[in-house]
Amino acid sequence: MNFEYTEKSKELQARVDAFMKEHIFPLEYDYFEFTENNPWKVYPEIERLKKLAKDAGLWNLFLPEEYGKLSPGLTNLEYAPLAALMGRVIWSSQVFNCSAPDTGNMEVLAKFGTPAQQEKWLKPLMDGDIRSAFLMTEPQVASSDATNIETSIVKDGDEYVINGRKWWSSGVMHPQSKIYIVMGKTDPEAQRHVQQSMILVPADTEGVNVIRPLRVYGTYESPEGHAEVELNNVRVPADNLLVGEGSGFAIAQGRLGPGRIHHCMRLIGAADRALDLMCKRVAERTTFGKQVAQYSSIRQEIAKSRCDIEQARLLTLAAADKIDRFGIKEAKDLVAMIKIVVPSMTCKVVDRAIQMHGGMGVGQDTPLSGFWIYARAIRIADGPDEVHMYQLGRNTIKQHLL
């Protein structure tokens, strides 16, 4: 691959960076303060910031060029460094309408939605007027093997009836969360990978009961949040099914490739910020008559962090490039590699930064504890590390036996 970014990407990187410096960094802690003290309320400045980003043309940048008119025309490789810039402030992606899980859901609707589904749900999502959630994981089964999912989706005349229990449904708590993509079984007797389907469920449908919000390391991650949700005889029109019965796995494959690039690049941005903060911190403190930056052990930790970040960045760019040029199927090993490598790398780098900040590192005066929680959770979300290693190991052995 060519490691030089295109002119278009470089120009957008400069604009996203300038936008963040002018509008987002100054509000970073104010946002944390507000959301901590006002659970499930939207930070009052968000809509103003979204309008500024939209007017500046920094909007929906994530949707790859293959989506034609819907897309601002970037490849995954061109968008990747923009996601890293956004990742420096944990809440900033929503300002550019580039935040999970909406990005994955928009991509599903753009790729698989009918014109009517797109008009009803994709348009308001792309305009930033509503938010969404993706409901796959279930409390009663090991959901890292998605064939275990038990929620039933049963045809009844011109409707489907849905019954099941979901949890870790990110975004459900957001007051603007209006549409869920639900995965469940339409045919439990079919061959394993065609039992599942995905269906659109409006959040206000009768029988959709939000049981409770879930905390991640004690925090609500408000206003998006994660929830446990009961689906009790939920009836939706048959037209709400995506593609057709049995397509759930095929859709999931398409959803997760670019989504993992986004998560990983945001995490790389968080690690970039942690490196910046640790360098500044050690240069301003003195212990035992010596600047902390002068200690060899500290310099080693900083050097290792820089190496770790650059290795992870290059691997992630290689995965983005492979998706662009050969498609998600061909890129699956590289996508598994980044999902294994990047969240752990960010945990490690952020942990070093926390240590170098002393007590301040675990408190609310830096973004470090939030970065660590985010990176740690991503080692589980979208498939735990072990599952990606299990599949990558299997593929690697196969390739060596060819």
Ligand X SMILES: Cc1cc2nc3c(=O)[nH]c(=O)nc-3n(C[C@H](O)[C@H](O)[C@H](O)COP(=O)(O)OP(=O)(O)OC[C@H]3O[C@@H](n4cnc5c(N)ncnc54)[C@H](O)[C@@H]3O)c2cc1C
- The CA distance from 205 to 208, in Å, is 6
Which CB sits closer to ligand X, 53 or 135? 135
Q: Where are the alpha helices (DSSP H) in 189-295?
A: 248-284
Of the candidate residues 88, 185, 226, 357, the single one contacting ligand X (CB under 6 A)? 226
The backbone torsions φ and ψ at residue 159, rounded to the nearest 5 degrees and listed phi first, read: -130, 165
Which CB sits closer to ligand X, 136 or 354? 136
- The CA distance from 97 to 103, in Å, is 8
Q: How far is the CB of 134 from ligand X (least distance, A)?
A: 5
Q: How far is the CB of 290 from ligand X (least distance, A)?
A: 41
Q: Are 169 and 226 in contact (CB under 8 A)?
A: yes
Q: For residue 92, which amino acid is it?
A: S
Total residues at the site for ligand X (CB under 6 A)? 22
Q: Which of residues 125-184 bind ligand X (CB under 6 A)?
A: 134-137, 142-144, 168-170
Which CB sits closer to ligand X, 341 or 381? 381
Q: Which of residues 337-396 bind ligand X (CB under 6 A)?
A: 377, 380-384, 386-387, 390
Q: Are 302 and 311 in contact (CB under 8 A)?
A: no
Per-residue contact string for residues 77-116; x = within reach of ligand X by CB under 6 A: ------------------------x---------------
Which CB sits closer to ligand X, 214 or 243? 214
Q: How far is the CB of 199 from ligand X (least distance, A)?
A: 14
Tokens for 278, please give them. 């640790």
| Residues forming beta bridges with residue 241, ordered by sequence position | 199
Q: What one-character-per-residue DSSP string does 3-31 give?
A: -SPPHHHHHHHHHHHHHIIIIIGGGHHHH
Q: How far is the CB of 369 from ligand X (least distance, A)?
A: 15
Q: How far is the CB of 171 from ligand X (least distance, A)?
A: 7
Q: Which of residues 267-326 bind ligand X (CB under 6 A)?
A: none
Q: Are 163 and 233 in contact (CB under 8 A)?
A: yes
- The CA distance from 265 to 262, in Å, is 5
Which CB sits closer to ligand X, 227 or 282? 227
Q: Look at residue 102 and give its three-state secondary structure.
A: helix
The backbone torsions φ and ψ at residue 304, rounded to the nearest 5 degrees and listed phi first, read: -65, -40
Q: How far is the CB of 133 from ligand X (least distance, A)?
A: 6
Which CB sits closer to ligand X, 317 or 342? 342
Q: How far is the CB of 382 from ligand X (least distance, A)?
A: 6
User: Which among 252, 254, 259, 257 has a CA at the least distance from the CA of 322?
Assistant: 257
User: Which among 357, 257, 272 has a CA at the least distance from the CA of 88?
Assistant: 272
Which CB sits closer to ligand X, 139 or 327? 139
Which CB sits closer to ligand X, 337 or 381? 381
Positions that interact with ligand X (CB under 6 A): 101, 134-137, 142-144, 168-170, 216, 226, 377, 380-384, 386-387, 390
